[in-house]
Chains A and B, each alone.
Chain A
Amino acid sequence: MIEFRSVSASYDAETPVLHEVSFTIEDGDFVAFVGTNGAGKSTTMRLMNGLLEPTAGEVLLDGTPTTQLRTSQLAARVGFLFQNPDRQICCNTVRDELLFGFKAQGRADAQAEAKVDAIIERFGFDADAEPFLLNRGTRQLLALASIIVMETPVVVLDEPTTGLDFRECAKVMDVIAEMHAQGTTVVMVCHDMEVVGDYAKRVVAMTAGRVVADGLTFQVLRDPAALHAAHLLPPQVSQISMMLVERNAELADTAIAQANTVEAMLDAMQEQEEAVSHG
């Protein structure tokens, strides 16, 4: 569990970047942080593994303040994907890169090697390739894979899909969804509302260093005040569901008013049709 208690933060004494941010992320949750450029999303992420210390308030990881632990110690519990994969990649081969985390934490044993081999197989990497010569999408995927392979209970992902084409984006998100299905807590920053609508269970919207909305994905993506405050354009499915409810108030209590994804919308409409034909 990650708990923010009135956390303020800044990079230098003069300009505060976060103002009294509070929220709790339960184990096994899938939370997306959304908001404008410079809203403080990356800053919030950095607070979660102690890369940054709050100037006021507390960040608790399973009840322990992050200030009591070093980031290198937290690494065993929180996997962190940076916005820029090139900051993270530092080894000469894909295989070494995937093993790096284990080596850093002193856990590079046969078990670790087996995990690395499995993930190379699964992502279809070339184990001996030079990471810096891979294309942008594959570098991003490699950075993500080197976080996943550590199997930390929490992963924090700063814009895992930015700059990827649709196919690569779907590949990355499917891996993340699978991790979540297996019980990993996922915290993700994302600018793509379609991705947020499709995958996240909960959305926290930020503007200018403050949380302006925090709730289930379908609630936040339909909350006009939150959308306006965080300058968000909801996914098209949410827009359609909003319009449908606007035209026909009776739908407000049905699944149509809660659908974020195309599948959910289809199911909801079918259900509604059946209800109408029976009723």
Chain B
Amino acid sequence: MAKFLEYVPGDSFLHRMNPVAKVLCALLISIACFCTGNLIFLVAVLILDFVMAARCGMARQAAGLAKAVAIFSILLALIALLGTPRGPVLVTLPWGYIGIGSIVAAITVIMRLVACAIPLFLVMYVTQMNDLANSFCKIVHVLYKYAFTFTSAVHFIPVFMNDMSGIMEAQTARGVAFDGGMVKRIRLMVPLCVPLLISSVRKTNSAAIAAEVRGFNLRTCQSGYKDYPFTGLDVRAIVACVLLVAVAIVVNVLVPPLF
């Protein structure tokens, strides 16, 4: 089973794109999402996200991501709901009111975050970390040191998650019951941060030493064998994403808000 943010091998157009172009396109799509508050446009971007995910066989992951981001953004949505008095009044509050417009604003917040997060995460699923670091090094001339730091940080996420579940298992086996209310769960989990932190620091430290003794500092941008040329596909994708941003701006200017 594919793990969180772990590369899934494949041969879709997303897999074949240049890593730098992928990141650029993902960023452009995110920018487009923030250029407009038009709900229909955001839904269209979300559909586009899912079509892309489905094209490379990652609809399931995308759905999981969408759910996670949506849950994460509920707090922001709540703030939007309570703090945007717009449209026909539904409920009056001491400081204003909740209207139909407030609900639309809350939905927009969630839609926007989900629509802009999916492409960014999707990049991780369709790009090998090595390729990502090397291509940024070769094309954008990012120092390999920084590219490597980023990729190893991402690489460690599933490792940490695995560690955490292992630590929780160990405590369960000693009689800790990790169920019941949220507060109780969190109280039980806090002490477990100690072993997690210790194992992380140990792991990070030994990974750094291992990289050092293998000549990490000798590495330059020219060290990789593989070249990462831009192809027609990359150019077309970038142009499409730039157009998307343009459309977002135009929509924002021309289409008046619903409420």
Residues B170 and A104 in contact, CB atoms below 8 Å apart: no
- The residues of B that contact A71 with a CB separation of less than 8 Å are 172-173
Within 8 A of A (CB), among B117-175: 163, 166-167, 169-175
- The residues of A that contact B166 with a CB separation of less than 8 Å are 82, 84, 87
Residue of A nearest to B199 (CB): A86
Residues B191 and A104 in contact, CB atoms below 8 Å apart: no
Residues B191 and A51 in contact, CB atoms below 8 Å apart: no
- The residues of B that contact A147 with a CB separation of less than 8 Å are 174
**How large, as a class, is the contact surface on chain B?**
20 to 34
* Least distance between B49 CB and chain A CB atoms (Å): 26
Residues A104 and B175 in contact, CB atoms below 8 Å apart: yes
- The residues of B that contact A51 with a CB separation of less than 8 Å are 169, 172-173
Contact with A along B222-234 (1 / 0, CB 8 A): 0000000000000
Residue of A nearest to B168 (CB): A87
Does B195 touch A at the CB level, under 8 Å? yes
Residues A75 and B174 in contact, CB atoms below 8 Å apart: yes
Does B74 touch A at the CB level, under 8 Å? no
Residues B175 and A76 in contact, CB atoms below 8 Å apart: yes
Does B1 touch A at the CB level, under 8 Å? yes
Residues B173 and A12 in contact, CB atoms below 8 Å apart: no
Are A75 and B173 also in contact (CB < 8 A) when A86-B198, A87-B195, A132-B198 are?
A: yes
- The residues of A that contact B198 with a CB separation of less than 8 Å are 86, 132
- The residues of A that contact B171 with a CB separation of less than 8 Å are 88, 90, 104
Within 8 A of B (CB), among A97-120: 100-101, 104-105
| Complex-state Cα separation, A147 to B174, whole angstroms | 8
* Least distance between A31 CB and chain B CB atoms (Å): 19
| Complex-state Cα separation, A51 to B176, whole angstroms | 12
- The residues of A that contact B202 with a CB separation of less than 8 Å are 86
- The residues of B that contact A88 with a CB separation of less than 8 Å are 167, 170-171, 174, 195
Are A87 and B175 also in contact (CB < 8 A) when A12-B1, A14-B1, A132-B198 are?
A: no
Residue of B nearest to A78 (CB): B173
Does B177 touch A at the CB level, under 8 Å? yes
- The residues of A that contact B199 with a CB separation of less than 8 Å are 86-87
Residues A90 and B191 in contact, CB atoms below 8 Å apart: yes
- The residues of B that contact A170 with a CB separation of less than 8 Å are none
Residues B170 and A87 in contact, CB atoms below 8 Å apart: yes
| Complex-state Cα separation, A13 to B60, whole angstroms | 15
- Among B163, B175, B199, max chain A CB count under 10 A is at B175
Does A70 touch B at the CB level, under 8 Å? yes
Residue of A nearest to B177 (CB): A72
Contact with B along A55-70 (1 / 0, CB 8 A): 0000000000000001
| Complex-state Cα separation, A191 to B132, whole angstroms | 40
* Least distance between A195 CB and chain B CB atoms (Å): 23
| Complex-state Cα separation, A91 to B174, whole angstroms | 13
Does B40 touch A at the CB level, under 8 Å? no
Does A199 touch B at the CB level, under 8 Å? no
* Least distance between B25 CB and chain A CB atoms (Å): 31
Q: What is B's interface to A at a CB cutoff of 8 Å?
A: 1, 163, 166-167, 169-179, 191-192, 194-195, 198-199, 202
Q: What is A's interface to B at a CB cutoff of 8 Å?
A: 12-14, 46, 49, 51, 70-73, 75-76, 78, 80, 82, 84, 86-92, 100-101, 104-105, 132, 146-147, 150
